[in-house]
Every structure is written in C-alpha cells, then in structure tokens.
Structure 1
Amino acid sequence: MDINQIKALLFDMDGVLIDSMRYHTKSFLQAFRKYDVKIKEEKIYNLEGKEDIYIIKDILEQKNLENLDSKKIAKERREIFNQIERTKVFDGMPELLKKITKEYELSVVSGSTRRNLNNFVNKFYPNIFDCLVSGDDLSNQKPHPEPFEKCVKGVNIEKDEAIAIENAPLGVESVKNAELACIAVATYVQPQSLKEADIVFENHKELKAYLKNNFL
C-alpha cells in the first residue's frame, strides 16, 4: 500500500461513519425474540455489511427455521429500529472528512438501503462524498467484491489508488476480494477478527490520527 498513490478513500457507513450498530443489533434481537429465536449479539456484528434480508435468511438457515417469513421479520426489524434508533456520528469524523475531501475523492460503500444511506449522509455528512453505493445498487452483497469494485468504477480510479475503511469481518473480506488496500477499525468486534486488513486500529481515535497524519 503506497500512500503516495492514493486518490480515494472508500468508507463503510455503520460502525465507521456513524455509531448505529448497537441499535441495529438490538432491533434484530427483538424481532427474532417474537419468534422465540435466540441469537447472540456477536452473530449480528459478524454478519454486518449484508442487507437485512440476507442476515435474517442466514440466521434462519443456520437454525433450520427456513419456514419463518424472512421478509416479515425484516419489516418488523426495521420498524423496531426506527422506534429505538438514536444514531450519532463518531466524534470529529465529519469535521475531519470535510477537510480531507478537498484533496481526495471520498465515497461510502454500504449494505444499507439507498433511502437510509441518503438520509444519514445528508444529515451527518452533507457535501462530503463523491460516490454513494447502497445495497439497492448491487446484485451481490459483501463479502462479494462487487460493492467496492462498483465504487472504484464510479469514481474512475485504479484499484491501487484507493483505500477502503471497514469495521466488520465481511466488509474486510469484500475489500480484499476486490483487491483493494484495507484499513479496519474494531468498533464492535475483536481486532483479531479483522486481521485480513492491511492495518487494524482498535478505536476511532487511532483511525482519526492515521487519517490526519496521512491525508491532511
């Protein structure tokens, strides 16, 4: 990874730009509880990066409960999230990226719906990003390389000119499958689970220091 070649930074949204996964996780647990399906928080964190419906289908398949209506559970999960959500940004990230975007192409690559992605970006990070890739734009979800390959194509750069910033194992896998450099921050999982990344930070303080030192 040659920092001097980098022209673009590609950010995951949940867990990197906004502190939202605790509410996503809680809403999944509550939705599943209605059907007496018990899961641990770590299961949701490890599936982060996929669209809701695929997370739910994966869990139901693992528990041999494919007879349950995954679309209904996904709808109920979203309703619960909307009731309990108190999403906020990670301290200092909007201000930092507002400076970095003057010299670099910045993008968001998320498994969230286009509506949610647009809402959160417009609310917390207006006029910062050049390209937004949502789950609605994709045929294949993380860990498939398509999300990051689509973003690289969207900003018209070469793969060795981009770094992706992720916080979830599936996200890191997607980045590496796309043959991009990867920085990971252990927002909700153990750093060891992100070891495939080129650089792993334990928290956002370390991530912000790296971004300041290398891109300002």
Structure 2
Amino acid sequence: MIAALIFDMDGVIFNSEDIIAKAGVEFFKKRNIVVDKKEFTPFIGTGEFNYLNGVAENYNFKIATKDKLELYKIYKKIAKEELSIYKGIIEIINKSKKQNVKIALATSADMSKVEINFGIVNYDYKIFDIITTGTEIKNKKPHPEIFQITCSNLNIKPENSIVIEDSPMGICAAKKAGCKCFAITNTFDTHYLTDADAIYSNYDLLMKEIFKQTKNER
C-alpha cells in the first residue's frame, strides 16, 4: 500500500530550477567566466556544490565549499522576484494530510535553501512529516541514499512510497531506492523522464493517479 509521498523541492514544489541557473550564471560572471544556463542542466538534482563544480571543471576553475553560500545569496535575491509554488502542489499536500498519507521533503539542497524557498512564499515547511536535505547525506542523487534515509525516517518500506521528481537524476535515485516514482515535466521533456513509473504534464492528473492508488490499496 502507498503510505507516503516524498517530494523533491526544486522543480517539483517550486519553479526554482531556472532561478538557480540564473544565479549560477551570475556567480561565474563575477569571476569573469561566461556560462550559459544550459550548462547546469546535467547537474540538476545533485546539490549546489556539484551544480557549481560540474560547470567549473569545464573552465578549470576550483569551487570551494563556501561558494555555495554566495550562490544562495544570489539565488535569494532573484527568487524574491520570481519564485512561486507550482499550482496544484498545496492541494496534493493538504489532501495527503487529510487521508493520513505521510509526506516528506527530500532535497539535495541545503536546509538554508529550504528556508529561503518556503520563507519567500510564506508557507510553513514544518507541514512535512520528515525533511531530508543534502547536508544529511554523503552521496547525492543519483545515489539512492536520500530516499533510503527518508523512508527509514518515515518508518516505511520504499515500495510503499511514491516519489515525485522532475529530473533524471532524481528518478534514478528513487528507483534505485526501491520507491515508485512519478515524474512531472516542469523541468525536462518527457523523453528524459522515461525511467519513471509514470510521467505527468500537470498536477491535476498526477493527483488523480496518486489518490486512486492510495484508495485502491487501502
């Protein structure tokens, strides 16, 4: 039975993937390195250090751990103007709570980014039963550790969860962990998401399928 929903954050709850890419471009611009937003695409979902470092390696530039703090500072400035919650997410969260389906947030980002995102839109992240961030794991996506830890903390078996993801890295991590994974096409086109159990273009369709499964399996 489906006992829990596990949400990725960036690109699933928030329209933040393009914002962090803009922040990355500005980060490198300050170092006289011109990059394109598309250069960050292969590193979506892997955490901000890997996100920066993956691009930096192409320019023989060294990234320090502290550089994440600067990236988040730039990100916050842009996010204050552009960040929003995807339509339909709050409805899924609220319906899950009403039906006693556990909900968790599992993000490769640091807790500081969680606080930035939820603070800007004035939505309490404490609504989640469990939050797992990148600072709590050694191995970032596509390694399954983040979902293994989340399921353990929820006290459920991975096969009794549905992970909602927007990236190939996240889907790979969820499937390796043994979770069911539904993908949303907020960030990547369908042909990049084919390893997911199902792919949806909007949250209305995704919500119908989620709660059809929870109803059928209870």
TM range (shorter): 0.7 to 0.9
Could you tell me whether the CA contact under 8 Å between 1:49 and 1:170 is conserved in 2? Answer: yes
Residue 184 of structure 1, CA deviation: 0.6
C-alpha separation between the residues in 2 aligned to 1:71 and 1:132? 22
Residue 91 of structure 1, CA deviation: 1.5
C-alpha separation between the residues in 2 aligned to 1:105 and 1:95? 14
Residue 215 of structure 1, CA deviation: 4.4
2:43 matches 1:12: no
The count of aligned residue pairs is 210
Could you tell me whether the CA contact under 8 Å between 2:139 and 2:145 is conserved in 1? Answer: yes
1:66-215 to structure 2, matched below 5 A, reads: 66=61, 68-71=62-65, 73-85=67-79, 86-102=82-98, 103-118=100-115, 120-121=117-118, 123-215=122-214
Q: Classify the secondary structure of the residue corresponding to 1:132.
A: strand
Unaligned runs of 5+ residues in structure 2 are: none
Could you tell me whether the CA contact under 8 Å between 1:168 and 1:194 is conserved in 2? Answer: yes
TM-score, normalization by structure 2: 0.86
After superposition, the CA RMSD in angstroms is 2.2
Change (3 A) 1:124 1:213: farther
C-alpha separation between the residues in 2 aligned to 1:171 and 1:43? 18
Residue 127 of structure 1, CA deviation: 4.9
C-alpha separation between the residues in 1 aligned to 2:127 and 2:86? 16
Which letter maps to 2:108? G
Residue 189 of structure 1, CA deviation: 1.2
Identity of aligned residues (%): 24
Change (3 A) 1:148 1:87: same
For 1:87-142, what per-residue CA distance to the aligned partner results, in whole angstroms no more than 9, with x for missing partners? 21112321331121232011010011123324545732555311100011111111
Could you tell me whether the CA contact under 8 Å between 2:72 and 2:113 is conserved in 1? Answer: no
Residue 46 of structure 1, CA deviation: 3.2
TM-score, normalization by structure 1: 0.86
